[in-house]
Structures are given as structure tokens and as C-alpha cells.
Structure 1
Amino acid sequence: MAYHDVLLINPPSRQRELYEHLGLGYLAACLRQQGIDVKILNMPHWMAPRALQEVKKYSCKLIGVSIPFQRSAVQAFNFISRLKKEGFVTAHVAVGGIYPSFAYEDILKQFSVVDSVVIGEGEKTIVELAEAVIGDGNWRKISGIAFRENDDIVTTELRPSIEDLDAIPFPERDTLPEVLGKLEHAPVLSSRGCYGRCTFCSVVPFFKKFGTPLRMRSSVNVIEELEFLYNRYGVRNVDFNDANFIGGKGRGFRRAQEIAELILKKNLNIKFGIQCRPNEIDMELFTTLKKAGLSKVFVGIESGSQAMLDRFHKDIAVEDNLKALQTLGKLDLITYMGFITFDDRTTIQEFKENMAFIEQAKKLVPQNRLFYDLGTKLLPLAGTDAEKNMKEKGTLSGNSLRFKYKFNDPKMDLLYSTIKLKEDVSRIGRKLKETDKEWIK
């Protein structure tokens, strides 16, 4: 059995898709900077029995588990529970992420196997927690955690966010070679947060709670990481995982322009994808970005109904959404459209407006370039205004792990179920075709 001071785990997920977990990479970099031995186990695409056997190969003092997606939290906690109940580990177990930072009380009350919850960004907290646990010190004194004490849930002083992102070491890339072998692209995080105020998004409430809602790395720092990936790992495809890569007009536009110009100046022959808001899609800026390698854009359109956009606090008009799609279509960029067709208050009229918008979108972006899920229902994520509003109205039942809500208009239930079923069948069909292709190979 191999020993490591810390095991960082990306647990099995309901999506069962392989990806590189940048958050764990950043934690590992900060731990190794202090001489702490770390092993990253990246297993979101594994079944639980295989993942359990893998963890069994190692002993450690601290296990850090990331819960990146609230929808997969139940699977993650079931996995953690099995680790301890089946005697796989006796180490201190800490969990972290946006969801746990808001739902730490639910987590600590329901899962006795969790010893502590890291609240907020974890780079500094994980180092102090590891040093205390490894040295048998009093880890309950460090900032930025929650834990049980008798029958109470205790939280220590909140730790502010790291304002200078350039000061954080580049993430460790232990799992990148495996990911590149499957997906052929590497993730990069050039900023943290967003300036928007969307009611359904937990990103802004999370970062705002601990400091500035949006922080951006310098263009020079981003290019240094791209060059490292380009030369060390042969990366030619990059996905910027930023919630908002552009970061708004002014400083954000200038930084995006600088990144594009530096990519061209350094002759980095890469393709990359970004996420942004519709109001940031500017023909001049995006023409430069495309020259630098921009090939795909995830844009948070969210709705074709002005009433729903206003309810979501998108601070944008339907016409602006259409203009953004028109620009992306003219630039022939692959477009992933974030779209929330249903929330608890969706009306028949709003549904019709959404359907009409989709038809307009198809005319603006070639269909082989436009991707979206029509059967998307708003999730009342922990920490969001959407969750708060539903709780106040009494329409949200369950807890942060298992919740449900009903539509105000019962007819929406039938519409949602019908569209969701159609998309699920289509998705299964595509997966079967992919499986057949792999079998033939």
C-alpha cells in the first residue's frame, strides 16, 4: 500500500464523463509548494466499485473530495460513505466546492463520514488543514471550515478570496495525459467569477461572499500557462473554463484582446473555446479572437422570452440575444446556447416565445453549428436567489441534495416531460451509435 500525505479525489459522477479537474490541480500545486506529498485520483467516469478498489491501494492522513456539481452530490457522498463504512480509509475527510460552501449544514448533518467542509476557495485552507492533520495539530482552529462539535455545526472565520490570481501557482497536471488521450483538449481557468446577477447561478453569490465577484489573471500570466501546455504536453486544443471569459467591456475586452494578440505573436497554433454573456459578443473583438484560434462559444442566452429574462435578472433584451447569435453565425463559430426553457413560473405564452426564439436562432446560426438542450429546467442551486425565492414561496421541497418543485401551471409538467423524454431518447440513440463505432474499431 503506497502512502501519500493527501489524496485529492474527483469521485464517480452520474454523468460518467472524463475531464481534468482544475480545482484539484490548483490544490495539489499549493500543497506540493509546501512539501506535502499529494496523489490526485480523477475518477468521475468510473463506476463506484472500481473507484473504491483504487482508493484502497493508498494510505494517507487527509482525503480531500471535490463536489463540483450539485446534481452529482448524492453519488459523491454515497461514495465517501462507502469509503469509511467498508473500512477503506480512516483518514480525515474534507469536502469542498461551491455547493458544499453553501450547504455545509445539510452535509454535516446527513453524513457523519465527513469530518470537515472547506468553505470558499481552498488553496490556502487545504494547506493549513493538511499541515494540522498530518502533524496531529488542532485543525479546528484554522479559518475557512465548518465541522461538527457535539450536536452543533461550527464555522470558523471566513477566509477571503485570493485577490491576485497571478500569485497562485499553475495547477498540477497529473491527470492531463489521460484526458488528452480521450478528449484531445486541456482546460484552463483564466478568471474566477462573473459580474452578472443571474438568479439561477451560484457562481456570483459564491465569489461575492468571500471578496470580489470577478477576478482575472493577467494576459501575460495566461499566455505563460498556454505556452507551458503547448510545449510540455503538446496541447493544441484548449477549453477556457471561466464562467465568463470576456469579463465585460473595458478591462475585460482589453484583456481578451491582449490574450488573442499574444497567442498570435507567440505563434501558438491552438484552437480554443470560451464561455461568455451575449452582451459581450462584439464583432471586432470576436474577429480577433477567431484569428487567434477561437472555434466555439458557450453563450448564456437562457431565454427568448423577455419576461423570463427579466425574472432571471439577465439584464439583457431578447434583441441583444438575437444580435449575439447573428454575430456568432457570421463568424461561423460553433455555438453552444445555454437555454432554460422551464422554471417554476413558466407560462404557455413564455413557452411559445421560447419556441419562436429557437426558430429564429436556427436561421442565424447554421444548424450544424448550433447546439442546445430544449428540455432544460431551472435548478434551484444552493446559494442562489432562485433557491431563496422558492423557499420563501414554499414551492421547494426536500433538501439541497434531493429537491423538487412544481410548475405553477400544471400544463407545463406535461410539456416538460414530453420534451425531456424526446431528448433523452435521442441522447441514448447517439450513445448507442458511438458504442457501435467503437465496437467496429
Structure 2
Amino acid sequence: MDVLFIIPPVANNYILDIKWEDHFEFLGVGYILSVLRKDGVEAEVLDAENLSFHSDHIINIILEIKPEILAFSVAKSQAKITKSMIKQIRNKGFDKPIILGGYYPTLAPEEMLDGCNGLNLIVRGEGEHVVSKLIQSLLRNEEFKQIDGISYLENGSCIHNPPSNAITDLDSLPFPSRDTLPLIMAIGGDPYLISSRGCYASCSFCSIKAFYKNNNSIQCRIRSVENIVNEMEMLINKFNIQRCRIFDDNLFMAKKIGRKRVIQLADEILMRKIKIDFEIVCRADDVDEEVFTYLVKAGLKRVVIGLESFNDNSLKYYGKKLKAEDNYKAMKVLDSLGVECVGSYILFNPESTFEEIEIDLNYFYTRLEIDKGINLINCILSTSTVLSIDEGTVLFQNADGNYINDEYVLKDLQLNKLKKISVYISISLETNLLKLVEIEKYYKVYIKNKNETRIREQLNELWYELAKLNLDVFRMFFDQLAGLSATGEFSIEMTDEITSYFYKNLNHHYNRIMQFIERYKIERNIFPRVWFYYFKKANKQYVYEPVSATFHKIGEDVIRVLELLYQEPIPSVEERVLSEDNAAIQALDWVKKQIDDGGFIKEPKTYRMPNENIMKRTIRQIIR
């Protein structure tokens, strides 16, 4: 194998652990794979984040496959585990070139090069053409140090070559490889699609423009609507998709030009009579009733909208160049059109005050009653959102070493206690939250029967109850700490009373979830199962996926990987069975039997309900 791309996990998990965020494709790597394969390079990807692979598994796979070049795509949350893996594989004798790319290595190349022994190269900014040039040079043992857009160590010093040029014609790129899409769809995720690169806004906390400066460009670039819809049709025909996410930095690009383009996109979808639900990303000031009415007609169902806050002071701090009334207006339009809204929020920042937090908290209660169970994971997580001041942002440049990342102390020390409590509350909710997410993923993939509406209603009730509990407990601690800030009086009794209320209702909610699972026979541990079974047919290797009932041709490398992962030979279906006309049915029966017999089951991480006394002690320590 010429090059193996690793998408590392954020943390070490068990196989296919349930995560509360959606599973999604890493299209940056998908685009690079397509370009490399077009250029004749043998390239594969191991998406360890979506598979929730433990780093030990990943290291074993790398050492077994022995690719000529190893590449990692890294976000900031993945940097620590990536450094650790690189150190371990170097210590175990892997001596091939290692390349890093992605947002974090681009914005903090020196930190990655200096702090990661064994790392050879970093590709900054867009990777398609730079990575192809670099990998082909390495494979041919040719000089690579003249390639623009890379950073490397030389004699202990970090060398940063000039930025590479941005790809101006996005239509010239092949569609991204979709190696991981069958798995992602099988566990409840949807395909992603990128129609543009860049954003016209200049939010103080955002690093998009800093990233693209590494390609000598901060301008927005677009694909033609024909090219975008061609990819939609390909996904429908090849993968039988019904939904997709147009996950641009911002679909609208710029005000007038962006709206004209969005209408053209809707026109093209309608003209081709494509039946697909889709999701977009935008700002509040992009929401126009006329434009969005047309988008809904074309299939728009969901909008991820950058709200951040509903108080003007915070919006000014975040460089949004918007007022709270713009957010209210946008949400009113989307609600009137029946579009599901996923707002992104930042509740805490270094300058936050109790008055500002209360404005946002009041809005969370309003959203709770509007949504009534839909998308309430957003409402639950929003109370613990803390502004992260990251490399490449305006706030980072002005921070002078203070308030970096999200572990800083707020200027209001009582409010800083609330920040800590909010994070602790979110951790305590984890067991209930993950159970609901597991049911949601099961519901999305499996539940298609006469009870579907009733199941959906009861599931919404469970979401509503958990979101309401979270907001109520947050409000109680908010009131206590706001009073403490004013009077300086601390009451252990009040703290314990709130904690006991939280503990009691959290356990009651968990029992309701378990009753729901039993009532509707929601199959437990279904998503942590091993999804792949391989067999031979006509002397060729195939993988069988039970969920999609499809077969995929594979090579010997994949067989070794699977056997490494599960520490045992993977059984094969006999050739004589597969040679018959009903081979797929018999293969499925065989797989079901293996599952019924307890084969191929990987137990997920076990989450336990918190202990009341530990909760009380922890919260007392925070408040004191």
C-alpha cells in the first residue's frame, strides 16, 4: 500500500461506541483520496473516529499493513492522541514518512513539529494537490523540500515553505471518495456534500480565514450548481441516499451573490425532479423568508445556524456584526416554515456576566417549548458550551497568552463556578443522553412499522424531560451563585438540596428510558457490533455488511486488519453456499446465526449512573 490515511479518534473508545454527536464523513480526506487515486497512487483510509477504534488497534493495523507513507488528518481535539500514536509506532520500528494535515497542524505547525517526535511533514491548508505532489515525490525518492504549502523540521528548526495556491476551480476536482459512507449510513449518519469553500464573515472566534490564508486566499470559492447536483444524483444512484448535508462553511457565501446562487441550486434540484431532504449551514442574517420558502420546496429540512448568543454584548465580542433581534427574526422565519433548527451557542466567554447568561438561558427555555422533543440534544449541551479561543482566530491574536483554549478562568469568579458546575452536570447526564442517542440511531435505521408515530412521540417526551431537567438544575445553581455573588452567603443545605433533586430526577428519567427500551424491544448493544464479515467467492475476498445486505470486494490487507482487530480468525461462508442463487439470503442467515450464538459482539463502554454523595461533595467543592 502506498499511503494509509488515519482519521484518529478524539479519545480511546471501544468498537463503535455510541457518541452523542452524529457520525459524519471526513470529506477533506475523501477529496485527497480521489485525487491520489486519479494520479495512480494506491491510497486507503482508516476512519478510526467513526469506528471508535482504540489507539492500540490503530497501531497494530499500521504495523501490520506497513504502508509506504502514513498520513493523519488532525483536528485540535485529536492532536494529543495522534502525537501519542506516532511516538508508539516509531518506538515499534515504523520508519516510513509520516505526514499530518488538517486544521490544527495548519494553524499550529510548530507546536506539532516540535512536540511530536517522529513526525516528518505537515501539509498546510487545502491538501488535494499538495499532498499528491508530496506523496509522489516521496514514493519516487525525489526531492520534496521545494513544494509549496509544507512545513518540516531541518536541523532542529521548523521550516515553513511559502503557501500553496488555492484551488480556484472546484469543479475540476473529482468527487470525493466515499469509502466510509456505507458504514456511516449503517449507524445512522448521512452523507455530506461540500458546495463551496470559505466564508464571507469575520467572527472573532473562527479560524476559517486563517486556514485558507495558507493557500494565499481568503476569498470564497464555489462549485457550479450543475456539478453539485451531479454529485447528489451520483449519491442517490450509487448509495440510495434519501438525505444529505450540504456542510459548507456557509452556503450563502456573500449576501446578494450567495442568495442568487442558492436560488439557482434549488432551481436545479427541482428541474431534475430530485427527491432528497437536505441540510445547510448559514448565519442568521442569511435567513430570508422568500429564499428559504424556495429552499423548502426543493427539499430543505434542517438548518445549522450560527446564533452563538441572544445578547448584544456577547455577539459584539464574537465579532458577529449582528444584533440579538437578527437571531430572533431568523428563528421566527425558520419556525414558520417548519424547518428544523440546530442553533450553535456559546454560553460562556471570559467577559460573560450573570445578566448575559440569563438572557440566553431564558431563550433556551423558549426553544425547549417550541421544539418539544425535536433536537433537544442541542438544548442539553448548550448550557455547558464554553468559548474556545483557538489558534488562527482574532481572539487568539489579542489574547497575549491569556484565556487560551477553553480552560481559562472567567473574570467573574462566581460565574466561573457556574461554568464548572454546568460541565459537571453535562457529564452526569451522559448515561441518559447516550441511551437516548442509541435509541435515536436505532430508530433512524430500523423502525419502520405501524407504531412508528407513537414511538416517536414517546421518544420526544424522553428528550423533553431530560432537557427540562438540565435547564431547571442549571437555573437553580444560577440563582444560587448569582445570589452568592451579591451577598457572599453560601448555603451547603441549598447546594445539597439542588443536587438531591438532580440525582432523584436523573434516576427516574433513566428508569423511564429502560422501560421504553423494554416496551418496544429496542435491541441493546446493536451499534457496537462488528459490522463486517468476510468470505471467499471465486477465489476473491469480499466483505458482507448485514445492515445494508451488500457485498464489497476487499484485499488481503483488510483481512489481516480484521483479524488483528478481533484477535481471532474471521470465519468464512463456504464457497458452495455462496455459489447458489440465494447466496445473499443464506449469507445473511449465517451472519444472524453467528450473532444469535454470541459471535462477533463487542461490548460497548459501560456508563454508570452517578453516585449521589459523590455528586454532593463535588458540587460543594466547586461552589466553595
Pairwise TM-score range, normalised by the shorter structure: over 0.9
Distance (whole Å) between structure 2 residues aligned to residue 190 and residue 180 of structure 1? 21
Deviation digits for residues 142-165 of structure 1, max 9, x if unmatched?
A: 111111111211111210211111
Q: Does 1:422 align with 2:461?
A: no
Q: Does 1:233 align with 2:236?
A: no
Give the C-alpha shift of residue 184 in structure 1: 4.4
Q: CA RMSD in A?
A: 2.0
Deviation digits for residues 25-67 of structure 1, max 9, x if unmatched?
A: 1111111111111111111121112222222331222111101
**Equivalent position SS for 2:244:** strand
Select which of 435, 458, 461 maps to 1:432: 435
Q: Match for 1:358: what amino acid?
A: F
Select which of 275, 279, 282 maps to 2:285: 279
Structure 2: segments with no counterpart, 5+ residues: 14-18, 440-516, 527-624
Distance (whole Å) between structure 2 residues aligned to residue 440 and residue 27 of structure 1? 34
Q: TM-score, normalised by structure 1?
A: 0.92
Q: Please, which moves more after superposition, 71-80 or 367-376? A: 367-376
Distance (whole Å) between structure 1 residues aligned to residue 230 and residue 65 of structure 2? 34
Q: Match for 1:100: what amino acid?
A: P
Distance (whole Å) between structure 1 residues aligned to residue 372 and residue 292 of structure 2? 18
Select which of 301, 309, 312 maps to 2:315: 309
Q: Does 1:9 align with 2:15?
A: no
Q: Note if contact 1:184-1:237 (Cα within 8 Å) is conserved in structure 2.
A: no
Distance (whole Å) between structure 1 residues aligned to residue 370 and residue 329 of structure 2? 9
**Equivalent position SS for 1:146:** strand
TM superposition outliers: structure 1 runs of 4+ over 6 Å: none
2:148 paired residue number: 143
1:379 paired residue number: 388
Select which of 64, 72, 85 maps to 2:71: 64
C-alpha change, 1:363 and 1:427, in structure 2 (3 Å) is same
Distance (whole Å) between structure 2 residues aligned to residue 362 and residue 214 of structure 1? 35
Give the C-alpha shift of residue 336 in structure 1: 0.8
Alignment map for 1:47-196 (pairs within 5 Å) = 47-67=54-74, 69-87=75-93, 89-196=94-201
C-alpha change, 1:212 and 1:389, in structure 2 (3 Å) is closer
Q: Note if contact 1:163-1:212 (Cα within 8 Å) is conserved in structure 2.
A: no
C-alpha change, 1:343 and 1:15, in structure 2 (3 Å) is farther
Q: Match for 2:418: what amino acid?
A: L
Bigger share in strand: 1
Deviation digits for residues 181-214 of structure 1, max 9, x if unmatched?
A: 1124111111111111111111122124521332
Deviation digits for residues 292-313 of structure 1, max 9, x if unmatched?
A: 1111111000011101101111
1:207 paired residue number: 212
Q: TM-score, normalised by structure 2?
A: 0.66
Distance (whole Å) between structure 2 residues aligned to residue 382 and residue 205 of structure 1? 9
Q: Note if contact 1:14-1:72 (Cα within 8 Å) is conserved in structure 2.
A: yes
Q: Match for 1:43: what amino acid?
A: A
How many equivalent residue pairs?
A: 430
**Equivalent position SS for 2:255:** coil
Alignment map for 1:327-342 (pairs within 5 Å) = 327-342=333-348
Q: Match for 2:4: what amino acid?
A: L
Structure 1: segments with no counterpart, 5+ residues: none
Q: Note if contact 1:26-1:171 (Cα within 8 Å) is conserved in structure 2.
A: yes
Distance (whole Å) between structure 2 residues aligned to residue 308 and residue 321 of structure 1? 13
Identity %: 28
Distance (whole Å) between structure 1 residues aligned to residue 373 and residue 286 of structure 2? 22
Give the C-alpha shift of residue 440 in structure 1: 7.5
Distance (whole Å) between structure 1 residues aligned to residue 212 and residue 125 of structure 2? 8
Q: Note if contact 1:191-1:245 (Cα within 8 Å) is conserved in structure 2.
A: yes
Give the C-alpha shift of residue 275 in structure 1: 1.0
2:602 paired residue number: none
Give the C-alpha shift of residue 360 in structure 1: 4.3
C-alpha change, 1:396 and 1:318, in structure 2 (3 Å) is closer
C-alpha change, 1:367 and 1:174, in structure 2 (3 Å) is closer
Distance (whole Å) between structure 1 residues aligned to residue 265 and residue 83 of structure 2? 39
Q: Match for 2:411: what amino acid?
A: N
Select which of 286, 290, 297 maps to 2:296: 290
Bigger share in helix: 2
